[in-house]
Structure 1
Amino acid sequence: MAAPIREDDCKTAVQNLLGTEDFVLEGLTVRGVGDGNAAGFMGRHCKLTVAVRVGGELRELRFFAKLPPATKSHRAFVIDAKLFHRECVAYTCLAPMMNDALPHNLSIPYPRCYFSRDTVNPEITPVPGSAEEEIIILEDVSFRGCEFREGFPTMDLHHCRVVMRSLARLHAASILYEHRRRPSPDESLGPRSFLDDLWKPGIARSYAQSCSRTVATASACLWPEEFGNGRDAEVFSAMVKAWDLLFDAGTAFPQYSNIMCHGDTWTNNILFSYEETEGGCKVPVDCVFVDLQIVQYVPPVTDILVFLHIGTRREFRERHTKSLLELYHKTLGEYVGTDLLERVLPFSALLQSHADLRAIGLIIPAAYLPVIFEDMVKGGEKSGEPMDIDEAILKDRGETIASNCKLSQAYGERIMECFRECLEGLGLW
């Protein structure tokens, strides 16, 4: 069901888009985004169509709106973990600063934000559509020709190359901002001061604990000869240690430069634009990243690890990771210049950071994929019900995952490959 959107909020978004108050709002249509890819896991999404009259001309403007989840426990998770707060600040503060650091003909691959209202009182659940409810109103990038890849397909080499080039542009903006900005006594708006406390909330640690316990239990069920007889405790301990590396990624390896990373570069958060070849094939040419709820100030390889380990299969990564890192690094140098790149991130450092932080690329898919692919077990049918956050990610679901692996061959293949690579990469197999 579409969440109600206040007319005053829409007027402000239109004013910010047009750069003038000289317009008349003629009509507003709100359409809730359904249960497909674009619905998101951590919020309610709506598309807005706004009819405005400007100088006697009737125009139709399109927006995309994001609101926190409606169910109490799900909303509490998003608010307590400051996911919505981070996204508001990322769109309204950090993104403009980074855009200003790029040459005028370039922009970071994010949607433009036209209005946001952050949490007023985290202890109170506001009435939907009220002046207290959090909201972010963005451009609808589908009108730029951007689209999701439906069904969470694995990424082929063409799509991976597009993502590497767009990540390089995003990361270049952060590098250039840090390099060009003048020292100021007011550091409150800088990426470092805002993102240093990213993982401080206890709810994030609870999530890590439940994900670790889930992998440990599932491993004992799936491979009892390897992880039965109490070895699940060893798996749990190794997983918690790997999550600690994620939480401390910005400080664990001081030899690597930190930048503002997207932090959640999996399939559902990437929209691609395409060109059609003479033969009628659609070829990806660019992409936009959405959902800035987990922006991080960490080594840039973090975004690459999350994208590749969720979006591609193990055999693909073994064949193509180095060439994709080379493409990313070459493109990054085109934006920031080779001299600055060699000071900030020489290719040898990128390769070594990929090895040192690889555990991040192992644990994130182990947490995400069992939730993402659960519809495989149901024959692709969606329940239509909102996610039960406690059931989905805040409890030990290991036995359920192991059972689902037996119910669905496709699900079992993806999850068991993911878990086995994780266990091997952590030195447990």
Structure 2
Amino acid sequence: MENLSRCISKERVLESVKNFTGRPNVKLLDGMEILRATKGVEGLTSIVIRVKTPYCFSGDDGKILWKTFIVKALPENLFQLDVVERCRLFVKEVIFFKEIVPLLSKAAAAGNVSLPLPKCFFAAGDGGSDSIYLEDLSEAGYKIPDSTSFTVGLDLDHSSLVMKTLGKFHAITYAAEKLLLPSKNWVAEFPVFSRDSIFYDPIGKDVVSPLFPLVKSCVETFVTMSSQMNGLPKQPDFTGALTKALENNWPNLCRLVQPDPQGFNVLSHGDCWINNAMFLYDGGRPVDLKIIDFQISRYCHPAVDIFYFMYLCTRREFRDKNLHSLVLEYYNSLVYYLSVLGFDVPPITLDKLKEDLVKYRAFGIAINSSFTPTMLLGEDFMPSNSGELSVEQLRDLYDTGNSSALLKKFKSDPTFRSRMETLIREFVDWAIPQ
């Protein structure tokens, strides 16, 4: 196990405890426990550490108290660090917690509304020792869904709660923008949001998005799999049309994450999928949700968050049956919280949202075809012995989207093949309906 203590600053732990307690006379004691909080892909762009520290108050009775924090620190792997720095992921998350969350809190306080995210006790982005000290949600019983959710998709209870929470979060970010940033928007106030962290067109050899090769490589993988499927044409004109449609994935992603100049925009989460959603359960049923990880927050149409979740966290048959009812739950939540926060006239009608969703479905289709296959790999993607991704595996993920592992499992695993065929047919039905 690596020496995680190198990622922890006792001064920052002390400052976090002071901010947690609201008292200046905190004294840290010996016996701090430092452990990895996540593994592999769950900490792909950060080292995520659970720090449990004993402390007492100077001048009191000396009673020993304990507090646990989740600490996010820069990865030490040079390949990961390059990705983080090129995309300014840590910079954006530090700004989110240091500067944006106080604005959200002020807006939410007007309606006595709680923020659906972890509390932050310290954040620093001073270069080289960037770190964020957060509330450990697991202490209150919050947890990420069971690992089977990666492959089978989330059910209606989980999905409904996510839609309601996104509606609440978007309402708060909209209220903060209008109440606290008069005549401005989030992009004007925080230029870090002027270019998307991930989805942007290559403008030079040194500024290509790390995910561009992954999305590009999915074209060949998809075409190879489609050629082995029954029920799809094999003639060259079909293959050419499929390749052309797949090559539009990246331009679609880059275009649709931009703010809608004539539409309704919010500060969105940007990465709302299973790994970034922690649920509180009561008798096995999810009753509350906190969203985590704001490294790729973006200012855009709310449909981007909706389809990001729906296409990465649910399966086609579920979407075909429940998408419209879930969109209604999102909209009702948005309108309710906007009303509580003082906005009686919503900035978008339900009919306009539904109209916009037709256009933004291209984002969901592109996300689904580019990233869901790797998620469906399950344990074949994550090594079971160490729980860590090697540099070689990271490079394979970013450069090829694990194409060799995908094709191997497509041939050998009937369940995986069936799910991939469903995914491919959904793309074909949308892109080449005839």
Classify 1:185/1:163 alpha carbon distance in 2 versus 1 (closer, same or farther; 3 Å). closer
Amino acid in the other structure paired with 1:246: L
Distance in 1, Cα, partners of 2:71 & 2:134: 6
Partner of 1:312: 314
Residue 11 of structure 2 is aligned with which of 8, 12, 16?
8
What one-letter code is carried by the residue in structure 1 that aligns with 2:74? P
| 8 Å CA contact 1:217, 1:399 repeated in 2 | no
Residue of structure 2 in register with 1:371 after alignment? 374
Residue identity (%): 22
Greater displacement, 407-416 / 41-50: 407-416
Q: How many residue pairs are counted as aligned between the two chains?
A: 411
Structure 2, unaligned stretches of length 5 or more?
none
Partner of 2:173: 174
1:149 aligns with 2:145: yes
2:130 corresponds, among 122, 129, 134, to: 134
For each residue in 1:143-168, what CA deviation from the matched residue of structure 2 results, as whole angstroms up to 9, or x when unmatched? 12211112151211111111111111
Contact in 1 for aligned 2:223/2:243 (Cα 8 Å): no
User: Which amino acid is 1:239 matched to?
Assistant: L
3-state SS of the aligned residue for 2:132? strand
Alignment partner, residue 249 of structure 1:
256
SS of the aligned residue for 1:150 comes to coil
Give the residue type in structure 1 aligned to 2:53: V
2:333 paired residue number:
331
Matched, 1:74 2:80: yes
Change (3 A) 1:214 1:251: closer
Which one-letter code corresponds to 1:256 in the other structure?
Answer: G
- Cα pair distance change 1:134/1:233, threshold 3 Å: farther
Q: Which secondary structure state, in structure 2, belongs to the residue aligned with residue 14 of structure 1?
A: helix
Correspondence for 1:52: 55
User: Which amino acid in structure 1 is aligned with residue 13 of structure 2?
Assistant: C
Q: Are residue 22 (structure 1) and residue 29 (structure 2) matched?
A: no
CA distance in structure 1 between the partners assigned to 2:278 and 2:343 by the alignment: 30
Distance 1:249 1:378 in 2: 29
- 8 Å contact from structure 2 (residues 242, 432) kept in 1: no
One-letter amino acid of the structure 1 residue matched with residue 413 of structure 2: S
Please name the residue that 2:89 is paired with: 83
2:432 aligns to what SS in structure 1? Answer: coil
How many Å apart are 1:184 and its aligned residue? 6.9
- Taking the aligned partners of 1:201 and 1:63, their CA distance within structure 2 comes to 37
3-state SS in 1 of match to 2:195: coil
CA distance in 2, matches of 1:372, 1:233: 27
- 1:361 Cα offset (Å): 0.9
Where 2:400 maps in the other structure, the secondary structure is coil
Alpha carbons of structure 1 residues 230 and 11: separation in structure 2 relative to 1, 3 Å? farther
Match of 1:123 in 2: none
User: Does 2:98 correspond to 1:95?
Assistant: no
With over 3 angstroms needed to count, the CA separation of the structure-2 counterparts of 1:210 and 1:398, relative to structure 1, is: same
TM-score, normalising length: structure 2: 0.85
TM-superposed deviation, 1:422: 2.6
Q: 1:147 to 1:105 in 2, by over 3 A?
A: same
The whole-number CA distance in structure 2 between the counterparts of 1:186 and 1:376 is: 43
Change (3 A) 1:23 1:397: closer
Deviation at 1:344, TM superposition (A): 1.2
Query: Which residue matches 1:390?
Result: 395
Q: Distance in 2 between matches of 1:243 and 1:312?
A: 22
Q: Distance in 2 between matches of 1:13 and 1:407?
A: 50
Structure 1, unaligned runs of 5 or more: 121-131, 277-281
Give the CA deviation at 1:371. Answer: 2.6
Greater alpha carbon shift after TM alignment, 292-301 vs 96-105:
96-105
Question: How much does 1:370 deviate?
Answer: 2.8
- Cα distance, 1:72 vs. partner? 1.2
Structure 2 equivalent of residue 197 of structure 1 = 195
Tell me if the contact between 1:51 and 1:58 (Cα under 8 Å) persists in the aligned partners. yes
Q: Is the 8 A contact 1:90 1:292 kept in 2?
A: yes
2:121 equivalent to 1:114: yes
| Structure 1 residue 226, shift from structure 2 partner | 4.2
Question: Is the CA contact (8 Å cut-off) linking 1:35 and 1:382 kept in structure 2?
Answer: no
**8 Å contact from structure 1 (residues 305, 358) kept in 2:** yes
- Counterparts of 2:263 and 2:185, CA distance in 1: 25
For 1:419, the equivalent position in structure 2 comes to 424
Distance in 2 between residues matched to 1:351 and 1:311, nearest whole Å = 20
Q: Deviations over 1:311-363 (max 9, x none)?
A: 11111111111111111111111111299475511101211121111111122
Change (3 A) 1:313 1:329: same
Q: Which of 239, 244, 247 is the aligned partner of 2:246? A: 239
Give the Cα separation in 2 of the matches to 1:249 and 1:223: 27
* AA in 1 matched with 2:394: I
Give the aligned partner of residue 35 of structure 1: 39
1:165 corresponds in structure 2 to 164
CA shift for structure 1 position 293? 1.1
Q: Quote how far apart the aligned CAs of 1:287 are.
A: 0.4
For residue 265 of structure 1, give the secondary structure of its aligned residue in structure 2.
coil
Q: Secondary structure at the match of 1:76?
A: helix
Q: State the one-letter code of the partner of 2:281.
A: Y
Q: Please report how far the alpha carbon of residue 231 of structure 1 lies from its aligned counterpart in structure 2 after TM superposition.
A: 6.1
SS of 2:218 mapped into structure 1: helix
Amino acid aligned to 2:432 = G
- Give the aligned partner of residue 212 of structure 1: 215
C-alpha separation between the residues in 2 aligned to 1:186 and 1:179? Answer: 8
Deviation at 1:93, TM superposition (A): 1.4
